[in-house]
């Protein structure tokens, strides 16, 4: 008979198991009273980063609002896989209207709660990167500018996955998508384009902007809970790898998210009223190859017809992120 | 209370009496005065509790209304023309979700060429959107229809547009009887939503629906509009009891009993048509009028009944189905299917082109003699049209159409005759 020895620390990581923490320091997800906002049985792909991110984020928002939460969802994977009629995974009041209007619908819900004096009821809007950085951007900026009391969460998997992996304004340079194919002199998505929505959100001087990844779910929970304690427009962009769209193994979702952070490709930070107040430092600095190589969407940069100069350009982007946000600490090596 | 007031102001006061809870506003002429007045009422505390939200687009306006309505708040917005088109995706969504939003459409032409004046192209483009559409003939009726609209929308849990002619009604000062708060409260109960987002009882709204249920959902939207055909006359009768005047209903006739020629129209042009009919009646013409109040649902039976005894009818409409002819006329002809009635279509007043009595006299007389082509373009400048057509024949690179026509007409001759 085989058995596994009990380990209190996850070997090779810096993660401490929940059971060693005091109960009030444990994660929302570790609590049996968690709300299971998006319940099991939904139809996300194996290893879906968005399902994981949404589960942690909305459960954290539920915990912080004592269950007084209404969720608004943009069209996209999350909406489609969670509500195939007549089934719904949502244990919270939830509305989906359109692809590009989730922030405005959330404003409407918020206004209704305000006018009815139900100020304890809080509103979260959520969508993918396409719904947030492209088609929903006008409504998002409007909601920010009015400082409406809405927390908007963008699950960023860097392309339109629901429609078959097309480029969005969050797709990184050189990445293969269905509309940026790895052909021609400069294969994949072009350099010098794209939109940094966390920074644009900061430019609205809203109370809170943060980024997070599904590699650090405690950090995600912390930021959602913190955002929920604040009022006004708040924005969290969660980096959620997509095994299907990226061509990564479904068991590598969290590893890919960690590599994005450790290479400097995805800076993890918080900002209040337009000023960065904290960054999650890189623990072990890694070259971008470590992040790019496992992903089929970057496969054309390696192998027989490698593009080392393109990899160098991506490394330059990571280096700039590291400089700009001060992502290195003395421990980073 | 009787008041000499602007149409928009009167409508704003009527809306306020209906106790809206969320109003979203985006500026577009000619509806701006309505939301401006409401904004002031909210800001001053005269209208409360109410959230007035200045949004960044019409698409956002309708989306905010969707969220507010789904969360149980009585929601209102107003738009026109390009604004209505900009919000179209959300317009269909509101009706698909069954949310009883009330929206004023200050009817205005659709560009290009850009034009701010009145015709019915905007709301008629949304005839299949699942929204009900009521057309006001006067500012008094605009006031009354808005009050009825909230009742109707909330009874059926379906959205409704109250259409009033841009500028002709919205900016006209005339005598309007503004009801009292007690009257409106007696007529319009508080909003009791059929579905609501509530943490105490979580529901999912807006699920992905496949072929197994989609048709049923769509049929039910149609069925609700069929119910509206019964409800609209009831609400109109009830309105008369509380407010003491006839307003609303599905259709209204004028001098129709012995009419051999019937004129069918919607909106404020009915006034000019009735004046023309009075003059023609005085000369012995057997002519009458059918005004359509409810364009959606379209009252096929009532239209048929109103036209059954005439010999011919002419639909005068401020809209054009390009490549086909009339939009309203198509529905009217559907209503008289099998009767053998002779029907004509007159496209009139596009982009604010005046519809003077002299032109109507001529048109109606031709209709009486059945000397009209199936589709007539009232007061169309054929010289300008033919000149442009010739220019296009002569020159492959004839340039922009509207600018050519304006150039031909010149500033002075652009005045209306």
Chain B contact present for A18, CB below 8 A: no
Looking at the structure, tell me whether residues B76 and B213 fall in a common domain.
Answer: yes
Residue range B361-392, pLDDT digits in tens: 999 999 999 999 999 999 999 999 999 999 99
Query: And the tokens for A93?
Result: 């009041």
Query: What is the CB neighbour count within 10 angstroms for residue B178?
Result: 18
CATH number at residue B32: 3.40.50.970
CB contact under 8 A, B73 and A95: no
pLDDT at A148 over 70: yes
Looking at the structure, tell me whether residues B27 and B92 fall in a common domain.
Answer: yes
Residue A21: pLDDT band by 50, 70, 90 thresholds? confident
Strands (E) across B216-323 are located at: 251-254, 261-265, 287-292, 294-296, 312-317
Residue A330: pLDDT band by 50, 70, 90 thresholds? confident
Chain B contact present for A201, CB below 8 A: no
Query: And the tokens for A175?
Result: 């990445």
Residues B342 and B313: their CA atoms lie apart, in Å, by: 7
pLDDT at A10 over 60: no
CB contact under 8 A, A97 and B73: no
How confident is the model at residue B27, as a pLDDT?
Answer: 97
Query: What is the CB neighbour count within 10 angstroms for residue B118?
Result: 30
pLDDT at A272 over 80: yes
- Residues on chain B touching A97 (C-beta within 8 angstroms): 63, 66-67, 90, 93, 97, 206
- How far off is chain A from B292, nearest CA to CA, in Å? 33
Chain B contact present for A106, CB below 8 A: yes
User: Counting beta carbons within 10 angstroms of the beta carbon of residue B369, is it exposed (0 to 12), middle (13 to 18) or buried (19 or more)?
Assistant: exposed
Quick one: chain A helix, strand, coil %, rounded to 5? 35, 15, 45
Q: Are A139 and B60 in contact (CB under 8 A)?
A: yes
Instruction: Give this complex's ipTM.
Output: 0.95
In chain A, the residue whose alpha carbon lies closest to the alpha carbon of B202 is: A93
Q: Are A196 and A237 in contact (CB under 8 A)?
A: no
Q: Are B15 and B145 in contact (CB under 8 A)?
A: no
How big is the CA angle at B61 (ends B57 and B66), to the nearest 5 degrees? 145
- Residues on chain A touching B198 (C-beta within 8 angstroms): 93
Which helix (H) or strand (E) segment holds residue A12: the answer is: none
Chain B contact present for A244, CB below 8 A: no
How confident is the model at residue B417, as a pLDDT?
Answer: 47
Looking at the structure, tell me whether residues B183 and B320 fall in a common domain.
Answer: no
Looking at the structure, tell me whether residues B185 and B308 fall in a common domain.
Answer: no
CB contact under 8 A, B73 and A70: no
- Residues on chain A touching B55 (C-beta within 8 angstroms): 104, 107, 142
Task: Give the residue from B318, B377, B270 showing the smallest Cα distance to B108.
Answer: B318
Looking at the structure, tell me whether residues B218 and B315 fall in a common domain.
Answer: no
Q: What is the mean pLDDT of residues A232-252?
A: 98
- Which residue ranges of chain B lie beneath pLDDT 50? 417
Q: Which domain holds residue B328?
A: 252-377
CB contact under 8 A, A108 and B63: yes
**Buried/exposed A65-84: b ≥16 CB within 10 Å, e otherwise:** bebbbbbbbbbbbbbbbbbe
Between A and B, how many CB-CB pairs are < 8 A?
158
How confident is the model at residue A245, as a pLDDT?
Answer: 98
In the sheet that B312-317 helps form, which strands lie side by side, from edge to edge?
B251-254, B287-292, B261-265, B312-317, B342-347, B375-377
pLDDT at A72 over 80: yes
Cα B406 from chain centroid?
Answer: 29
At which residue do the structure tokens 């009604």 appear?
A: B169
Domain boundary among B203, B221, B243: B243
Query: And the tokens for B118?
Result: 């009145």
Q: What's chain A's length in residues? A: 333
Specify which residues B343 forms β-bridges with: B313
When CB atoms are compared, the residue of A100, A112, A141 closest to B68 is A112
Q: What are phi and psi of A54, to 5 degrees?
A: -65, -40
CB contact under 8 A, B199 and A98: no
CATH fold of the domain at A33-325: Rossmann fold (3.40.50)
Strands (E) across B280-393 are located at: 287-292, 294-296, 312-317, 342-347, 375-377
When CB atoms are compared, the residue of B51, B63, B201 closest to A105 is B63
- Residues on chain A touching B206 (C-beta within 8 angstroms): 73, 79, 83, 95-97
In whole numbers, what is the pLDDT of chain A averaged over residues?
94
Residue range B132-191, pLDDT digits in tens: 999 999 999 999 999 999 999 999 999 999 999 999 999 999 999 999 999 999 999 999
Percent of chain A with pLDDT over 70: 94
Q: How many structural domains is chain B composed of? A: 3
In chain B, the residue whose alpha carbon lies closest to the alpha carbon of A76 is: B208
When CB atoms are compared, the residue of A100, A107, A121 closest to B64 is A107
Q: What is the mean pLDDT of residues A182-194?
A: 95
């Amino acid at each position: 008979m085989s058995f596994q020895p009990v380990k209190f620390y996850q070997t090779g990581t810096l993660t401490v198991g929940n059971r060693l923490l005091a109960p009030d320091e444990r994660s929302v997800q570790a609590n049996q009273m968690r709300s299971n906002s998006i319940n099991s049985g939904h139809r996300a792909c194996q290893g879906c980063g968005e399902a994981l991110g949404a589960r942690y984020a909305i459960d954290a928002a539920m915990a912080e609002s004592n269950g007084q939460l209404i969720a608004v969802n943009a069209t996209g994977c999350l909406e489609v896989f969670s509500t195939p009629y007549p089934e719904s995974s949502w244990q919270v009041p939830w509305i989906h209207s359109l692809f590009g209007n989730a922030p405005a619908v959330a404003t409407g819900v918020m206004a209704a709660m305000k006018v009815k004096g139900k100020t304890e009821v809080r509103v979260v809007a959520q969508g993918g990167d396409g719904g947030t950085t492209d088609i929903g951007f006008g409504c998002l900026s409007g909601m920010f500018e009015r400082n409406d009391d809405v927390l908007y969460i963008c699950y960023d998997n860097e392309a339109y996955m629901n429609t078959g992996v097309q480029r969005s304004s969050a797709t990184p340079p050189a990445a293969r998508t269905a509309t940026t194919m790895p052909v021609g002199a400069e294969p994949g998505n072009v350099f010098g384009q794209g939109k940094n929505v966390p920074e644009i959100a900061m430019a609205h001087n809203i109370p809170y902007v943060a980024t997070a990844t599904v590699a650090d779910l405690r950090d995600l929970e912390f930021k959602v809970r913190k955002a929920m304690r604040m009022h006004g427009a708040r924005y969290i962009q969660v980096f959620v790898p997509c095994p299907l769209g990226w061509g990564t193994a479904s068991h590598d979702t969290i590893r890919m998210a960690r590599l994005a952070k450790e290479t400097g490709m995805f800076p993890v930070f918080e900002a209040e009223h337009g000023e960065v107040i904290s960054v999650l430092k890189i623990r072990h600095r890694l070259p971008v190859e470590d992040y790019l190589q496992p992903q089929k969407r970057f496969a054309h940069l390696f192998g027989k017809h490698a593009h080392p100069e393109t990899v160098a350009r991506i490394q330059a982007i990571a280096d700039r992120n590291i400089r700009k946000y001060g992502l290195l600490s003395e421990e980073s090596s | 209370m009787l008041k000499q007031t602007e149409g928009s102001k009167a409508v704003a006061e009527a809306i306020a009496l209906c106790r809206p809870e969320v109003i979203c506003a985006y500026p577009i002429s000619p509806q701006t005065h309505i939301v401006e007045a409401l904004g002031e009422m909210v800001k001053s505390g005269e209208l409360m509790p109410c959230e007035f939200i200045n949004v960044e687009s019409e698409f956002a306006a309708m989306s905010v209304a969707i969220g507010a309505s789904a969360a149980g708040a009585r929601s209102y917005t107003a738009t026109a023309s390009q604004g209505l088109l900009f919000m179209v995706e959300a317009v269909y969504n509101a009706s698909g979700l069954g949310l009883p939003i009330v929206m004023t459409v200050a009817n205005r032409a659709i560009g290009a060429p850009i034009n701010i004046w009145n015709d019915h192209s905007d709301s008629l483009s949304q005839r299949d959107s699942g929204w009900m559409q009521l057309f006001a003939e006067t500012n008094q009726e605009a006031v009354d229809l808005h009050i009825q609209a909230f009742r109707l929308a909330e009874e059926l849990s379906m959205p409704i547009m109250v259409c009033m002619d841009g500028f002709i009604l919205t900016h006209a000062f005339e005598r309007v009887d503004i009801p009292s708060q007690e009257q409106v409260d007696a007529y319009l109960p508080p909003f009791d939503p059929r579905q609501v987002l509530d943490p105490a009882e979580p529901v999912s709204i807006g699920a992905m629906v496949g072929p197994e249920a989609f048709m049923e959902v769509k049929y039910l939207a149609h069925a609700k509009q069929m119910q509206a055909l019964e409800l609209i006359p009831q609400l109109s009768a009830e309105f008369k009891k509380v407010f003491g005047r006839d307003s609303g209903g599905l259709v209204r006739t004028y001098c129709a009993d012995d009419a051999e020629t019937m004129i069918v129209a919607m909106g404020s042009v009915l006034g000019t048509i009735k004046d023309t009919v009075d003059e023609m009646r005085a000369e012995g013409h057997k002519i009458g009028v059918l005004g359509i109040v409810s364009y959606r649902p379209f009252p096929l039976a009532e239209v048929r009944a109103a036209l059954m005894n005439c010999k011919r009818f002419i639909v005068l409409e401020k809209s054009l189905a390009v490549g086909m002819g009339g939009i309203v006329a198509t529905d009217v002809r559907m209503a008289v299917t099998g009767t053998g009635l002779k029907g004509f279509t007159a496209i009139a007043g596009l982009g604010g082109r005046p519809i003077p009595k002299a032109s109507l006299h001529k048109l109606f007389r031709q209709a009486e003699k059945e000397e009209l082509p199936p589709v007539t373009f009232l007061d169309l400048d054929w010289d300008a049209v033919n000149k442009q057509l010739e220019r296009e024949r002569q020159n492959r690179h004839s340039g922009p159409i509207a600018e050519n026509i304006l150039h031909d007409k010149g500033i002075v001759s652009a005045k209306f005759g």
